[in-house]
Every structure is written in structure tokens, then in C-alpha cells.
Chain A
Amino acid sequence: MNHELISPQGLRIDGRRQNELRQISIKLGVLDRCDGSSFYLHGNTKVIASISGPKHPSKASSKKDENFYFNVRVKFATFSKNGERQKVMKNSKLLGEFELNLKNIFKSVILVEKYEKSQLDLNIEILQTDGGSEICAAVNAATLALIDAGICMREYICACTASLTSDGIPLLDVSHLEEISGGPTLTIAALPRIGDHDQSVSFVELSQKFYLKDLNKIFDCALRGCEKIRAILDEAIRSNANETAISELTDN
């Protein structure tokens, strides 16, 4: 089945090339009642991320034995998937793991020492998804929302998936259709400083088996994807910064 993932002409099921991302569109500051927010559209996946804080910790969160109260909540809209309506997921293990992963990913990049004793809430609404790799969209959307909120971060964090055809051709940014067609999937979240030597990866998840000899190839493919996404995010952020330019910011 794997061999159908890419045609002899080198095109994938949805017409993309092997190392091509799906369409990504971005908007910052979509919700104005919170401190930072973003809308992230990746293929058919639509995600809204919002940030509240940093603020004085609420009573409930200050009981926790931590120095930085970082809460992550993820919600799937009941209408987010094609076909049957989704049941409202509450406190499910799957969602819990999703949230924990996000929390760990971002704790590695936020300059936590600047937010001692404060509370920061990251909320992810998954409005629509075609099935796979919601975590990638969530990570990228959250990076944008954190930046919009002016939270101090070491680097952008970008997430991307990659797969492999049976002929050993790596595929970037796996769509749902490709995922269910049986290809193995690697998901990574990385700090992809372009051209730098100190790129680091803060999250890796592998589904199905790979031959160890292929791992490097597929890993590299996913990392290049993160770099590409970083460039897209960076461009969107810069153009947003120019659009929302405060005329006299510098002579303040």
C-alpha cells in the first residue's frame, strides 16, 4: 500500500511534492479579550490559541508546588471532525497527555525565571481537523500566541511530521489520508534556528516501526519542515509587527 503514497511523477495523493508543506495561513491577535492569541490554519486544520497572563496566580493554582504556574488546556470542538459528531472530551487520558506534552514543550523555551510566582494560561481550541497531527498545529499556534502576548522565549518552537514511503522516500507534513494509508509517522517539535548548529528538539513521537537506518533520513526531513515553518511564522510575525506598528514606539 505504501508505494501509492507517491506517484511515479513524484506527486503525493493531494498533489504535493515530497518535501512540500500544506498551505499555512496565520493571523495574530484574533481574540481581543485575552493577552495574546492566534489563528492557525494548516491544510484543513484550524486552531485558535489564546494566552492569558502572566498574572497574579489564582487561589487554586497557587496551591501547586511550583514556581511558575503554567496551565495548558486543549479542547476539540464537537464539530471538528468530518463524519460523526465528537463527544465532548473531558479529563480523558488522551487529552491529558496532549496537554502535558504541550506544557513540557513550552516550558523548555519560555524564559521561566522571568515569570516566577506568576500564572500563565495557554488555551487551545481545535475548531477543525482532518484527523492527524493536531499536536503540530497546536504547537505552532501556541508559539504564535505566546509571541503575540509578548512572553519572553528563547526561540520559536515549531512542530512538523514526516513519513517514509516503502521506497525509502521521506515525506514532509503527513496528511490524514497519508497517515491512514499506512505510512509510519514521526512528529517532532524543535527550536529550528536556521543555519545554526545548536538546533535542538524538545519533543519526539514515533508511530509504527522504522528501520533504524531510515531514522536519520526521516528525522532530517521533519527538521527541515520545522525550519520551513519557522520561516513562515517569522514572516507572518514581522508583517504583523509592521501592520500594528506603533508610530512613536522608539522615541519613547
Chain B
Amino acid sequence: MTSNIKINLLIDKPKYTADLGDNNYRVFTPGESITEQKDFMRGHGTYVENGEIKSSVVGVVKKINKLISVIPMKSKYTGEIGDVVVGRVTEIQKKRWKIDTNSRLDSVLLISSINLPGGELRRRNAEDEQSMRKLLQEEDLLSAEVQNVFVDGSLSLHTRSLKYGKLSQGILVSVSPSLIKRRKTHFHNLPCGVSIIIGNNGYVWVSPTVNVELEGQGGFTQNLEAVSKTDREMIVRIKNCILALSSCYVMIYDTSIMLAYEESLKYEPKDLLNQDIMYEVGFNAKQRLLMVNQ
């Protein structure tokens, strides 16, 4: 029957500062020259002026062969082919869904880019809006892969694999896309009974682990039965851990999430809403991560 109420003073606000020792990389700011050499190509976050490649954002330089880009600290998602994304349907049009993927333009999922349930063959007359809505309607969440990047920068997606498809019960956490580490797999079943899909676009999906054999239909079905309380507690804890990592600017992937999870165990999941505890969990996870990586 007790209710938890905390009122703090902003003048006492805890402050998180990164340990300056562990990042000795060079930051570029808009207008700053990166190179005058002519044989480089300009990538994201750069522009050319008077033969020089200059930075157009605040971030760190990444060189791949002759391609120079600057990765901003914070920005919208710019997709690459093969990326795993989590998105939300915003609109149904003829033969395609419009999907919000945290990019500067909505992405497109063509009806020809999905596997119909049960391997059913696509019929022309089945392409009307109503039958599309049966599979995915506005505001539904799905996981997908980036199939192509259009000239205007918008993405086309596909779900042609059993692991992609409509998402059922769970919680969506949104973090900055630059916090997502590119990994071999972005689908994880954590040992604590929680499944996560870490979208490259910064949308992270946390849900109860489902039995693939029972529901492995290529995923356009939803299970609306109540999730057990133990599963729910774990899901919420993982969600709060991801937010803690994000508040401390720690890369988000399976290892960092598990470290934060372990650090969080001495607290109740709701304690992680408090900034000081959030910082503590995030900071400790970061320290341990540094040791793991050495």
C-alpha cells in the first residue's frame, strides 16, 4: 500500500562525466579541415571546399580505404545494406508499407519483400489494402533487414527470413543509433529469459523469449496471452539497464547489456529510474567492459 515518491533538488543533480582517460580520439567540428589530399573520397558527415575534405558535423573520423567519413555523436539513422532494423508502420499504401525507422525519411517495405504466412504464394488480387492490413497495420512493430538504399537516402526493407517479421508483446527502447555496435548477430536470447533485437537504427526490442518451434511461422502472428510476472520483471530490468547504458554513452550490444544487468541485480528494477543509480550501473558496466576488451 505504500507509494514511492521522490522529490530531489536540481541543484543536487548527479552529474555523469565520462572517464576522460579512455577516449583519446580526436574530435572534428563543422568547417574543420580533415585532409587536403586529393585521392580521398568524401563520405557521410563531410563536404569538399577548395579541394579540402572538411567535417560538417561534430564527431570522429572513420577511414575505410580511401573513404573518409565523420561519425556524429548523435544523429538520425543512415542505413546500410544488411543492417537489422526495428521499425513501426506509419502508413499503408498500394503494395507497400511505410515504416518509421528513425531515419530522415520513412522506409519502404514492399509486399513482394515479405514471406507470406505459411509460405503462401503471392496472388495479385491479395494485394489490396485490406489483406495487407491483416499482416501489418498502422503502428505495428516489425523487425526487418535493409535491402537497398535509394538515391534519396530512404531505405527499402525486406523480411525474407524466419527471424524477421511482426513483433508481439514487449517494450521498445529508443537510443541513439551511434550507440549501436555492428555485430554478426543482432538477435539475442539472454540467459535471463529475455530476447532482444538490437536494431542498427537505435530501436531496441525487449521481449519474452519465445519458443521458435511453436511459433516459427515467419512471424505475422501475435500472442496476446499475459506474460508471466517473472518474465515481465526481467524485461523491465533489461529495458532500464539499456537506458542506463545509454545515459552513460556506452555501446549497446549483448555483452554490455549483460554486464549492466549483473550490476543492476542489487537494486529493484524501479530503482534504476533514479539518476544516481542509473549512472552507477552504467558506469560500473562500462568499467567492466573496458577490462573485458583489454
Contact = CB atoms under 8 A, between A and B. Distances in A.
Interface of A: 29, 35-36, 53-56, 111, 114-118, 147-156, 191, 193, 234, 237-238, 241-250, 252
Contacts of B181: 248, 252
B73 A56 contact: no
B3 to A, nearest CB: 26
24 contacts: A29-B74, A36-B74, A55-B76, A56-B105, A56-B106, A116-B153, A117-B105, A150-B57, A150-B59, A150-B76, A151-B75, A154-B56, A155-B31, A191-B31, A242-B27, A244-B249, A246-B250, A247-B290, A248-B181, A249-B60, A250-B60, A252-B71, A252-B181, A252-B251
Contacts of B106: 56
B270 interface: no
A247 B286 contact: yes
Contacts of B105: 55-56, 117-118
Most A Cβ at <10 Å: residue of B59, B72, B179: B72
Contacts of A56: 90, 98, 100, 104-106
A238 B27 contact: yes
Given A150-B73, A151-B57, A247 B104 contact: no
A241 B58 contact: yes
A152 B57 contact: yes
Nearest to A196: B31
Given A118-B105, A250-B60, A147 B249 contact: no
A117 B179 CA distance: 26
A36 B60 CA distance: 18
Contacts of B47: 111, 152, 154
Interface of B: 17-18, 20, 22-23, 25, 27, 29-31, 45, 47, 49, 54, 56-60, 62, 71-76, 90, 98, 100, 104-106, 152-153, 178-179, 181-182, 249-251, 286, 289-290, 293
A117 to B, nearest CB: 6
B18 A245 contact: yes
A242 B20 contact: yes
B72 to A, nearest CB: 4
A247 B90 contact: no
Most B Cβ at <10 Å: residue of A118, A155, A234, A241: A241
Contacts of B45: 152
Given A56-B106, A153-B57, A245-B18, 10 more contacts: A35-B76, A56-B90, A56-B98, A114-B153, A147-B29, A150-B72, A150-B75, A154-B30, A155-B30, A247-B251
Nearest to A191: B31
B27 A118 contact: no
A155 B182 CA distance: 30
A151 B104 CA distance: 11
A244 B29 contact: no
B72 A238 contact: no
Given A111-B56, A247-B250, A249-B25, A54 B73 contact: no
A195 B179 CA distance: 35
Most A Cβ at <10 Å: residue of B249, B289, B290: B249
Given A154-B47, A249-B71, A242 B23 contact: yes
B157 to A, nearest CB: 15
A155 B281 CA distance: 38
A249 B76 contact: no
A222 to B, nearest CB: 19
Contacts of A151: 57, 75
Most B Cβ at <10 Å: residue of A56, A156, A191: A56
Contacts of B22: 247
A245 B23 contact: yes
A246 B27 contact: no
Contacts of B290: 247
A52 to B, nearest CB: 11
A244 B18 CA distance: 7
Contacts of A243: 17-18
A156 B58 CA distance: 11
A53 B90 CA distance: 16
Top 5 nearest A-B pairs by Cβ distance? Answer: A150-B75, A150-B72, A54-B104, A152-B56, A155-B31
A115 B104 contact: yes
